[in-house]
Amino acid sequence: MAKIRTGVFGWGVVAPKSPNIEAFEHNLESSESWLSPFNGYGPDNFLVGRPEFDFEAYAPWINQRCTPRHFHNLKEKMDMPALYAMGAFIQAMGQNPGLETELKELGQKAHVYVGTGLGSIASIHDAGVVLHENQRKWDRFWAAPVRNPALRDHQANPVPGAPVDPASLEGDERDDAQRLWNAFWAARSASLEEYLAELAVIESLTIEGDVAQGKLNAIREKEKQRGRLQERWGAPEAPWKVSANLIWNINNAPAAQISILAKIRGLAFSPVAACSTFGVSLRLAMNAIQSGEAKLVVVGATDPPPHPLTVGSFYSARVLAADKTLSRPLTRLQGTHVAGGAVVWVVGDMEYCMAKGFKPLGMEPLAVGVSSDAHHIITPSPEGPKMAMMQALGEAGAVPSDVATWDLHATATPGDYGEISTFRSIFSESVLVTARKGTFGHGMSAGGGWELTAQYLGYSRKKLYPTTLDAGSVNPGISAVHNNVVFDTACDAPQGLGGKLSMGIGGINACVLSGPLPEA
């Protein structure tokens, strides 16, 4: 079977200092960093990539296509990864008029593969905080002696195995002991047993008559009776009363929301491959197009804005710069910077889409090689990335000398040396390399898509955009291995293919090989 070519026919970006693809391209002209101070713990030493984004900018587009309350519901229920992805998708509809209609009319031949790296951290964090606070107040309420005969009896006849009385302790020890004390006695509260029995009766109410109307009536009646129960007991909010937004924001939410917005009825799911998510999504899309399962596929990746949980976790993993200064890949290895945002492309069968009048963008993706290190959760191996690179070359029908430029994963960690060494085991000194995480930081899943979009935009302008690097900052150990690097000045795009490697946590690799679009 003849190979079906794939083209890019729409794209959108949400990134630091870049609310849209136009701002992203404009900002690429400068060698300045797009990062800013975090201050998520109060004053701190971290720089992060905080997305510039206003979902209100997309209200007219959404209101024109959806029910009046849809935009309000999205704002109220969805976390930032889903909102970023929807914004980037709406941008992608702007490059080729008619693309939105085609996605809808293709039915199951249009797919959505939009993944995430870190998911909806804010929703998880906020629900966790609510649970913790509700549980603390709940246990304290039901452990109170007035509602707890078991505790009153304990004062006269101590219960074996009971925790230490916090009243006998001081400071932090007392706080920890109080939490254990309240949890222990709340579980033995006769009043709580009585409360739960009454609640079970309320929750057992069934639907009567018409299912749709009966469901609404049952929900309203349960809510009313639960309110009366709380009022009668004077109880605090139950610990299980956390926001349902946690469910609405599971990892497939961005892909699902895009399918709803655009009425795309084919497969929609969320590939999760850490830093390699965008490359993996693109390979899956190319496979679906080659097999005939799809004519158009929405691919992308989306990450939350920097959050204290993720910044702290990256720092504890010893891969984060924390000295208030910009970290530059291939330099003194200070570590990377957490960033958030999204990137969404619409890719399709090149011949089919061009026959429909759609114009391809940037470059032509020729192949994506994928592999796993099967080695270590965070330290890359030479073999895994090399396998992905060789697979991409083989599937593209190319040889190493065909490659003219290469974008590195490069995170300003010790892995940079291993990456450049593996790269040089295949490619020559003539290949011009770029490293852009000093520009916009490290989006866990979106970063690879930003880097690939920068490469594609540059080639469409016959140039490579500048990076934050300068000739004097490259680590001598790295420059001794490869020293043909794009620094803080733009340069002409060399003749030949472009490559892009991403290496994800868990040892998941994706290598994208692309070629210039024909002049016509």
The predicted structure's pLDDT at residue 142: 97
**Residues sharing a CB contact under 8 Å with residue 174, sequence separation 6 or more, in sequence order:** 166
Residue-by-residue DSSP string for 142-163: HHSGGG-HHHHHHHHSPPTTPP
- Per the DSSP assignment, residues forming a β-bridge with 515 are 364
Quick check: is 242 in a domain?
A: no
CATH no. for residue 349? Answer: 3.40.47.10
The predicted structure's pLDDT at residue 170: 87
Decide which of 201, 233, 265 is a domain's last residue. 233
The predicted structure's pLDDT at residue 520: 44
Q: Supply the pTM of this predicted model.
A: 0.95
User: What is the rounded distance in angstroms from the CA atom of residue 372 to the CA atom of residue 363?
Assistant: 26
Q: Are residues 54 and 94 in the same domain?
A: yes
Percentages of the chain per state (helix, strand, coil), in multiples of 5: 45, 20, 35
Q: Are residues 259 and 229 in the same domain?
A: no
Quick check: is 320 in a domain?
A: yes
Beta strands 497-504 and 403-407 are parallel
H or E element that contains 396: helix 383-396
Q: Are residues 226 and 259 in the same domain?
A: no
Which residue bears the tokens 């979009």?
453
Q: Are residues 408 and 462 in the same domain?
A: yes
Quick check: is 442 in a domain?
A: yes
- How far is C-alpha 113 from the geometric centre of its chain's CA atoms? 13
Q: Are residues 372 and 456 in the same domain?
A: yes
- With contact defined as beta carbons under 8 Å apart, do 251 and 116 qualify? yes
User: What is the rounded distance in angstroms from the CA atom of residue 509 to the CA atom of residue 380?
Assistant: 9
**Residues sharing a CB contact under 8 Å with residue 279, sequence separation 6 or more, in sequence order:** 273, 368, 370, 448, 452, 500, 502, 510, 511, 512
Quick check: is 241 in a domain?
A: no
**Residues sharing a CB contact under 8 Å with residue 251, sequence separation 6 or more, in sequence order:** 115, 116, 119, 270, 272
Q: Are residues 370 and 278 in the same domain?
A: yes
Enclosing domain of residue 145: 124-233
- With contact defined as beta carbons under 8 Å apart, do 121 and 314 qualify? no
Decide which of 187, 206, 233 is a domain's last residue. 233
For the chain, the farthest-separated pair of C-alpha atoms sits apart, in whole angstroms, at 92
- With contact defined as beta carbons under 8 Å apart, do 199 and 138 qualify? no
Decide which of 204, 233, 262 is a domain's last residue. 233
Quick check: is 238 in a domain?
A: no
- Lay out the sheet containing 341-349: strands in order across: 6-14, 341-349, 296-303, 110-116, 268-269
Q: What are phi and psi of 271, to 5 degrees?
A: -70, 140
Tokens of 65: 């296509």
Q: Are residues 163 and 288 in the same domain?
A: no
Q: Are residues 322 and 461 in the same domain?
A: yes
Quick check: is 240 in a domain?
A: no
User: What is the rounded distance in angstroms from the CA atom of residue 136 to the CA atom of residue 248?
Assistant: 26
- With contact defined as beta carbons under 8 Å apart, do 27 and 17 qualify? yes
Numbers of helices and strands, H then E, in the chain: 20, 16
Quick check: is 1 in a domain?
A: no
In single-letter form, the type of residue at position 211 comes to: V
Residue-by-residue DSSP string for 441-458: -EETTTHHHHHHHHHHHH
User: What is the rounded distance in angstroms from the CA atom of residue 80 to the CA atom of residue 302?
Assistant: 9
Q: Are residues 10 and 149 in the same domain?
A: no
36 burial via Cβ count (<10 Å: 0-12, 13-18, 19+): middle
User: What is the rounded distance in angstroms from the CA atom of residue 388 to the CA atom of residue 501?
Assistant: 8
Over the stretch 198-229, which tens digit does the pLDDT of each residue have?
999 999 988 776 766 677 788 889 999 999 99
**Residues sharing a CB contact under 8 Å with residue 406, sequence separation 6 or more, in sequence order:** 423, 427, 431, 432, 433, 434, 498, 499, 500, 501
- With contact defined as beta carbons under 8 Å apart, do 384 and 507 qualify? yes
Q: How many domains does the chain fold into?
A: 2
- Per the DSSP assignment, residues forming a β-bridge with 497 are 403
Give strand ranges (E) for 252-362. 268-269, 296-303, 338-339, 341-349
* Cα dist from 437 to 145, 331, 336, 393, 407, whole Å: 58, 12, 7, 25, 10
- With contact defined as beta carbons under 8 Å apart, do 300 and 117 qualify? no
3-state secondary structure of 402: helix
Quick check: is 243 in a domain?
A: no
Those residues of the chain that have pLDDT short of 50 are: 520
Over the stretch 271-316, which tens digit does the pLDDT of each residue have?
999 999 999 999 999 999 999 999 999 999 999 999 999 999 999 9
Q: Are residues 228 and 305 in the same domain?
A: no
H or E element that contains 351: helix 350-355
* Cα dist from 265 to 29, 107, 255, 259, whole Å: 38, 5, 12, 7
User: What is the rounded distance in angstroms from the CA atom of residue 403 to the CA atom of residue 130?
Assistant: 53
Q: Are residues 428 and 507 in the same domain?
A: yes
Q: Are residues 210 and 319 in the same domain?
A: no
